[in-house]
Structure 1
């Protein structure tokens, strides 16, 4: 990943040198002829761990932890004044990076260079393409970049002033992943620091690096191929829900020399496993303030709302719609603990069957759940017609469950922003009410002789 930043930076440096203009420069005769393109880099989403949310960005680790063209908001701030950088003549100045005019997009999922933010003059969501807009650094000055991603969260109010860089009133519903970022500064030890985003280019520039430390970030560093990196950090925690079958009757499969699906033998041929049809997180904090300078977030007020686990809607660009509150019904595949369960490396359902998409939330203590269940069960058996079985659906709504922070396997024992948690819920199937009648034998109480002539 770090080398991708390095090669992208070199390409941008070459592109900058091809754009001549009457630039008075900064006093360095080697650099005073070229306009310097503003280019920004990002790391992979940092997870220790989309209108109507696209869902969480990235994953815990590996190939799934990538950007996928998420919309970003980017602010370019003058280090000297703390105000947004402007261009143009006095009296007619405009913001260099104007979020009302430009659109910023994270790298495409299949991009060879996964480290470059794309700046668009116009962008088409459906094709993930548009018209790239180039912007250039002023001749002099040093700048810091701030950014955030909120998906389709509502009521967000950015407040970028000389003294603060905040986004307040962000109203979430569990489907949005909030991320905040600030430029990672260059340091004197970047060339010797493993994991530094600037390690490769710092090593290449060697003795120049210490001098360039006094010019971050601006035209001079850009002409040397240094691309400021914004490290976006998750501001919420994440829950991934899985269900397990605590009994044979709850499982969707049974073992009979091999795993076979349990289905009714009527015309409907429906699964006989217990279905999870809805999971609701009750009274979740739903208004968040983000401070981009840290970055860290806090709860705004005491507002609360229910968050519903959603499945992606294939008919609507795989977006999530909590207003419908629906998930694709999920049946745990195997009875948990069965000795015949396959290895989880070959069948992920062996450990638990995932329910819907992850839910993002602001950590605020234990979480109360409401779970709706449904099962297709035997209803009648007709002895007059070859013991034919009929079936019916039985629902049990609003089953209560508490997710306790104290049960988190990690040492923290509390939910943390930027952490992803797997929640395994064990469910049990409906059991037939069967009553056995035991016939008690009469006790032999002995014989009694009675003679009618003995009557009085």
Structure 2
């Protein structure tokens, strides 16, 4: 990704050095007043990285940790005044980065360069395309960029002078991210972790001097693109279920292969225990974000229930907690069975995932409830060859505590930016069977009685 970002930055540098008031221009880029294009980059999401929300951004480090056109709010701040950077004639100035008129989008999931933020004046969500808008640095000045992503969370109030976003109301489906500009450093050319390493190596003789001009027209003309590091402000839970008994599992092993357990009444219903709802109780639902750090904290004492959702394929794969339901999930394998696949890439080997992840502000242990149902045998008719009928039985609001002290890693408490896998073991309904045991009479001995012996 670093190389891709570097090449994109150089392309933008060529564009900016060949642009003056939107017209081609010549001259020494170090001395001319050629307008320099404002281009911004992003690092990969820091953890996992859609309500209706679109869910969590990205994933745990690896190939799946990519942006996917998420909407970003970006602000350009003058380092000298602390105010938003302005453009236009006196008396008619407006913010260069006007988030009401512009749409900032993270890279597409299939973008060759996962580093470049796209700026649109007209974005068409259905096609993930639009009209790119170019913006230019003022001829002087240094600027810092701040950004955040809140999906469709409501109630947010942005105060860029205070570098805060307050009153963000969440429901468990939004992934809140906040970012400030990563600064250039003296050791960027030798730091393997630096996203500026490649460009720093091409500007070895100038790097120390250019550090005094970050970020503005001069650094832009040298191909230096400010990078924003977006950090997750919430923690994430991914839920999985496992069958604690064979009767809860959706599959059974017949000695040679795994086969699905289905009813014999012609309905072909799954016989395993189904999870139909998971509700997280009393979750923090209003958050304030500090963009400068970045960090987040609770706003007030308000709480709400969060529900695990499944994506709606008919509605742009968005999540809707108002529906409050997930696609029923049955754990595939009985837990600890000797034949569970240990090789390959079977996603159900450790547990079967339930819905989409839930994002939350860490606030201690989590109390939740689980709704279960199972298709079980109801009657067996001996007059019709032991014909079996079935019915659904439900068990609602089964309580469970997620104890953060049981986290497998060293830190025994939930923390922002961390993703947790929660494996819940469930058990199938068991038939109530009573056996009647006939107790034999005890031999108490014989008694002889003679009528003539009577009194």
TM-score by length of 2: 0.97
Name the CA distance, whole Å, in 1 between partners of 2:225 and 2:318: 33
SS at match of 2:348: helix
Contact persistence 2:49–2:65 (CA under 8 A): no
Name the CA distance, whole Å, in 1 between partners of 2:322 and 2:379: 37
Contact persistence 1:49–1:238 (CA under 8 A): no
Q: Offset of 1:49 from its aligned partner?
A: 7.9
- In structure 2, the partner of 1:252 is 250
Name the CA distance, whole Å, in 2 between partners of 1:344 and 1:418: 30
- In structure 2, the partner of 1:86 is 86
- In structure 1, the partner of 2:120 is 120
Q: Offset of 1:335 from its aligned partner?
A: 0.4
The equivalent position to 1:217 in structure 2, one of 176, 201, 215, is: 215
SS at match of 2:383: helix
SS at match of 1:89: coil
1:325 aligns with 2:306: no
Q: For the structure 1 residues 419 and 432, does the alpha-carbon distance in structure 2 shift closer, same or farther, using more than 3 Å as the test?
A: same
Q: Offset of 1:96 from its aligned partner?
A: 0.3
Q: Offset of 1:323 from its aligned partner?
A: 0.6
Contact persistence 2:53–2:319 (CA under 8 A): yes
Q: CA RMSD in A?
A: 1.6
Name the CA distance, whole Å, in 2 between partners of 1:435 and 1:22: 87
1:231-242 alignment to 2 at 5 Å?
231-242=229-240
- In structure 1, the partner of 2:399 is 400
1:38-437 alignment to 2 at 5 Å?
38-47=38-47, 50=50, 52-161=52-161, 164-257=162-255, 258-343=257-342, 345-437=344-436
Q: For the structure 1 residues 29 and 65, does the alpha-carbon distance in structure 2 shift closer, same or farther, using more than 3 Å as the test?
A: closer
Name the CA distance, whole Å, in 2 between partners of 1:191 and 1:173: 43
Q: CA-to-partner distance for each residue in 1:244-275, whole Å, 9 max, x for gaps?
A: 00000000001112110000101211010000
Q: For the structure 1 residues 29 and 304, does the alpha-carbon distance in structure 2 shift closer, same or farther, using more than 3 Å as the test?
A: closer
Name the CA distance, whole Å, in 2 between partners of 1:16 and 1:124: 26
List gaps (5 residues or longer) in structure 1: none
Q: Offset of 1:81 from its aligned partner?
A: 0.6
Contact persistence 2:245–2:335 (CA under 8 A): yes
Q: CA-to-partner distance for each residue in 1:49-81, whole Å, 9 max, x for gaps?
A: 835010000000212110000000000000001
Name the CA distance, whole Å, in 2 between partners of 1:390 and 1:255: 24
Q: For the structure 1 residues 345 and 414, does the alpha-carbon distance in structure 2 shift closer, same or farther, using more than 3 Å as the test?
A: farther
SS at match of 2:63: helix
Q: Offset of 1:453 from its aligned partner?
A: 3.7
Q: For the structure 1 residues 49 and 70, does the alpha-carbon distance in structure 2 shift closer, same or farther, using more than 3 Å as the test?
A: closer
Name the CA distance, whole Å, in 2 between partners of 1:73 and 1:455: 112
Q: Offset of 1:344 from its aligned partner?
A: 5.4
Contact persistence 2:51–2:321 (CA under 8 A): no
- In structure 2, the partner of 1:37 is 37
Q: Offset of 1:88 from its aligned partner?
A: 1.1
Name the CA distance, whole Å, in 1 between partners of 2:54 and 2:63: 18
Contact persistence 2:171–2:304 (CA under 8 A): yes
Name the CA distance, whole Å, in 1 between partners of 2:86 and 2:11: 26
SS at match of 1:412: coil
Name the CA distance, whole Å, in 2 between partners of 1:187 and 1:304: 42
Contact persistence 1:291–1:297 (CA under 8 A): yes
Q: CA-to-partner distance for each residue in 1:151-192, whole Å, 9 max, x for gaps?
A: 00000000111xx20000000000000000000010111101
Equivalences, count: 452
Name the CA distance, whole Å, in 2 between partners of 1:176 and 1:212: 38
Name the CA distance, whole Å, in 2 between partners of 1:78 and 1:337: 60
Contact persistence 1:66–1:109 (CA under 8 A): yes
Name the CA distance, whole Å, in 2 between partners of 1:433 and 1:31: 89
